[in-house]
Amino acid sequence: MNPSYKPLLESLQLKNNAELKNRVVLAPMTNFSSHPDGTVSDAEIDYYVRRSKGAGMVITACTNVTANGKGFHGEFGGDHDGMIPSLSRLAASIKEQGAKAVLQIFHGGRECPPELVPNGETVSASSVASEGSGNTPRALTEKEVEDIIAAFGETTRRAIQAGYDGVEIHGANGYLIQQFFSPHSNHREDRFGGSLEKRMTFPLAVVDAVQKAVKEHAKEPFIVGYRFSPEEPTEPGITMEDTLQLVDVLSDKGLDYLHVSLMDFWSKPRRGADESKPRIQHLLEKMNNRLPLIGVGSIHTPDEAVNALETGVAMVALGRELIMEPDWVQKVQEGKESEIATTLSKKDQEKLVIPDPLWQAIVNTPGWFPVVD
């Protein structure tokens, strides 16, 4: 192995004493491949098995905590106890390959397709449609907000019972937790809206509910992470400064890690912070070594991954790259980095063990993946 890649393969001990065998994480990515009833499919299991041998931690696609939180066709569910056997199958298949299995939990809010939620009624912090969407959600009542917070705790309990090593709270990518934090989507006048501090109430209450479930149900170290998007393009919207304040509070919540959602690891702020230095640097300065940060965003080669680690992030998440090259970690370990694939061909589906719905999305979404032929 090239000695300069050694940092990628060093183990990492988290705050709760869980140990990851290396610094490479399979990023959470929707694969659209579960059964309509929300149970995990064989194709999905095979896809995860193929990608779980090398990474230290595998974060699954998101799973909804309530029936009205389902954000994607072919998403697997975690909203009732009947889902525990399905969740268990996925956890076991990942862990058998030697990776930590972390279940990403979320509520889609106003981003849910109406045909996937009861009575076609989408909900959010306020009755504000997302930009470009013709679908206006209904504002949740205070009681409903409390029920959703409790549902995050209940889904965490199911994850523990199903044998996961942890959960990741999905507060990113415009879904419900972010909708409560954003001045674009949260116009509430109760305790869940108004000032920046009040807009943090829902995200922080979700963290508390998840941690309470862990305390009550987990018998061994159980990882709790939180994913966030640093900014929104909308005006008004979340600014880098808003996020730095949220991150400051989250850094003292006893979480095991934070995970920033970026398309480009080196991207710089749009507004609300010094635009000459990358967002990652702002975040690391604010976190001040209080907990690990996972960085992500168009990292493909081991050199790019090592450069990312050198900023001070504790882990790098690979998404599209581990779809194109499931043996990425093994090739780094074996000194075969020159053989790492960073493109895919239209003939590669079977070789890469990619379920049909995800494959169709890959080949029919121009610019998402580097498809050659």
Catalytic residue list:
175
Q: What are phi and psi of 28, to 5 degrees?
A: -70, 125
Task: Using DSSP, state whether 249 is helix, strand or coil.
Answer: helix
- How far is residue 232's CA from residue 219's CA, in Å, rounded to a whole number? 39
- Written as one letter, the residue type at 97 is Q
Residue 120: Cβ within 10 Å count:
11
- How far is residue 6's CA from residue 332's CA, in Å, rounded to a whole number? 9
Residues paired with 260 in a beta bridge: 228
Instruction: Find where tokens 């409903």 sit.
Output: 144
For the stretch 90-96, contacts whose Cβ atoms lie closer than 8 Å and that sit 24 or more positions apart, written own/partner, are 90/40, 90/44, 90/45, 90/48, 90/60, 90/162, 91/159, 91/162, 91/163, 91/164, 91/165, 92/163, 93/45, 93/48, 93/49, 93/52, 94/48, 94/49, 94/52, 94/58, 94/60, 95/163, 95/165, 96/49
**CA nearest 229: which of 268, 261, 206, 183?**
261
- Is 98 within 8 Å of 53 (Cβ atoms)? yes
- How far is residue 138's CA from residue 131's CA, in Å, rounded to a whole number? 16
The continuous run of DSSP H or E covering 362 comes out as helix 356-364
Question: In angstroms, how far is the first alpha carbon of the chain from the final one?
Answer: 32
**Structure tokens given for 120:** 């076609």
Cα torsion 58, 64, 65, 68 to 10°: value is 170
Q: What are phi and psi of 81, to 5 degrees?
A: -65, -20
- How far is residue 132's CA from residue 128's CA, in Å, rounded to a whole number? 11
- Written as one letter, the residue type at 228 is F
